[in-house]
Amino acid sequence: MIDSEKIERAARLFLEGIGENPERPALKETPERIARACKEIFGGYEQDPKKILSKVFDSENSELVVQKDIPFYSMCEHHLLPFFGTVAIGYVPDKKVVGLSKLARLVNVYARRAQIQENLTEQIAEALMAFLKPRGTIVLIKAEHLCMSMRGVNRGAVETSTLSHRGILSEDSDLRKIFFERIAL
């Protein structure tokens, strides 16, 4: 899906567009470096969230499972500048649990795509409901956006938070309160 040749051509044009010489010795290999970086930064387009959440384990646990402080890095689809922060995920199993590393992998699938934080939050919650099929899920993302920090309003260290919940976690405010208490620990 990722076309390295197109990225390299675009990088050369970009360098020319900002007044640089792409043939200058320090920049000569920059288009190739950018193409390699894009394969990693946007690698989420080539990953399937269903496959990540397909390995589940039987469990009698029906209590809230919480994982917090999952770091992520993504790219704003409006400016192609990074936004980054942490994700907290909670879900109430319905006789099936997923390996804990799979939650961080799921975050990466969607974070490694050009998009906005609001959609990232929704995509993670939707994937959990669709593929893990818990009784409910909740996702909280806190992030800093470089499109706001280093350009435009030029205000760094501003945190944006987004929240999405489904199923029993939408219906039960006490359960949501438990989630917020756990992530505050």
Is 147 labeled as catalytic in the residue annotation?
yes
Residue 132 near residue 166 (C-beta atoms within 8 A): no
- Which residue is catalytic, options 46, 78, 118, 171? 78
Is 145 labeled as catalytic in the residue annotation?
yes
- Which residue is catalytic, options 79, 122, 126, 144? 79
- Which residue is catalytic, options 76, 122, 126, 144? 76
Is 115 labeled as catalytic in the residue annotation?
no
Nearest-angstrom CA–CA distance, 44 and 49: 9
- Which residue is catalytic, options 47, 122, 144, 147? 147
Report the DSSP pairing between strands 65-76 and 114-115.
parallel
- Which residue is catalytic, options 23, 32, 46, 77? 77
- Which residue is catalytic, options 8, 67, 145, 165? 145
- Which residue is catalytic, options 67, 115, 117, 123? 117
φ/ψ of residue 160, rounded to 5: -110, 130
What the block records as the tokens of 26 is: 């320090």
Nearest-angstrom CA–CA distance, 146 and 39: 21
Would you please indicate which residues are annotated as catalytic (active-site) residues?
Answer: 76-79, 117, 145, 147
